[in-house]
């Protein structure tokens, strides 16, 4: 599948077997969801996505998986092509996205292994491409007051409540640029602001999904207490990976049960979720993939 190199446009040449309704953006451990997986390469007006899409079935639902950082974790958070990733998922039919990620906790009560389903986000990233409507008019202002899909969040919260995992049903995710971790002063600032968890990949992933009228739900797993939480030392990359690996099976189990719990797919014209109606009444300078 290709699109014009300069003017984004809808692309209709994707084979019907290469379609999906739900997307998962996560780490390579999620490949195990699928049997008889189909690898689909998608070219976008914004360059290549992080990796090929991997399509398969989970509980009777068609799902497309994309490794956020690529195979071998080759793209650091500030180098991930978020625009291409979301455009590629929409190109194969995805309109609902689940985005698991590892985060540091800014609250003592949110310990390692806790699942946080944020309802708000604070963007402290810089230098990333933040919009698919860049350098082409007219200007598109998309509402983002409530960044995450209410239906997706409800589905995740319902599943986690029935598990033995710790859960925070709401929270604010602050996204830093990375790839370094926060200084102690920065971490204390985030904590004093009342924010819940800190990560590096949540933006502009969520806002680009909104620009593409896609439902987007972040599922954040706490791997450590951030340096600014009283009594905590600075975290290392290896420690984050160790905790994430220890808890990945529980997170995968949650997502496997969330997928069939998500609302049935609706056409763009028939969808009623506010995420899917985010572009209503706006004049778009480009044609989105269908």
Q: Containing H/E element for 24?
A: strand 22-26
Is 164 in the active site? no
Distance, first Cα to last Cα, the chain: 13
Is 224 in the active site? yes
Of the residues 51, 119, 224, 238, only one is catalytic, namely 224
Q: Containing H/E element for 96?
A: strand 96-105
Using CA atoms, how far apart are residues 190 and 228, in angstroms rounded to an integer? 8
Of the residues 146, 226, 238, 280, only one is catalytic, namely 226
Question: What number of residues does the chain have?
Answer: 290
- C-alpha dihedral over 261, 266, 272, 278, to 10 degrees? 100
Q: Containing H/E element for 243?
A: helix 237-261
Lookup: tokens for 59: 């509980």
Closest CA to 179 of 234, 237, 229, 252: 237
Catalytic amino acids?
224, 226
């Amino acid at each position: 599948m290709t699109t014009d190199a300069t003017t984004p446009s809808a692309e209709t040449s994707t084979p019907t077997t290469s379609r999906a309704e739900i997307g998962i953006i996560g780490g390579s451990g999620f490949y195990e969801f699928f049997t008889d997986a189909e690898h689909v390469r998608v070219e976008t007006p914004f360059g290549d996505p992080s990796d090929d899409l991997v399509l398969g079935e989970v509980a009777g639902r068609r799902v497309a998986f994309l490794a956020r950082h690529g195979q071998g974790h080759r793209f650091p958070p500030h180098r991930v092509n978020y625009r291409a990733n979301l455009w590629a998922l929409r190109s194969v039919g995805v309109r609902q996205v689940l985005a698991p990620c590892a985060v540091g906790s800014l609250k003592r009560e949110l310990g390692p292994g806790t699942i946080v389903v944020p309802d708000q986000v604070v963007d402290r990233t810089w230098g990333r491409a933040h919009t698919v409507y860049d350098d082409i008019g007219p200007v598109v202002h998309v509402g983002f007051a409530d960044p995450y899909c209410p239906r997706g969040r409800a589905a995740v919260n319902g599943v986690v409540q029935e598990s033995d995992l710790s859960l925070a049903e709401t929270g604010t995710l602050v996204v830093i640029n990375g790839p370094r971790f926060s200084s102690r002063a920065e971490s204390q600032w985030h904590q004093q602001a009342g924010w819940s968890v800190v990560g590096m990949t949540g933006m502009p992933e969520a806002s680009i999904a909104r620009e593409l009228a896609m439902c987007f739900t972040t599922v954040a797993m706490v791997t450590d207490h951030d340096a600014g939480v009283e009594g905590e030392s600075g975290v290392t990359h290896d420690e984050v990976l160790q905790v994430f690996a220890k808890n990945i099976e529980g997170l995968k189990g949650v997502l496997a049960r969330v997928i069939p719990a998500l609302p049935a797919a609706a056409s763009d014209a028939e969808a009623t979720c506010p995420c899917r109606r985010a572009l209503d009444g706006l004049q778009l300078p480009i044609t989105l993939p269908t």
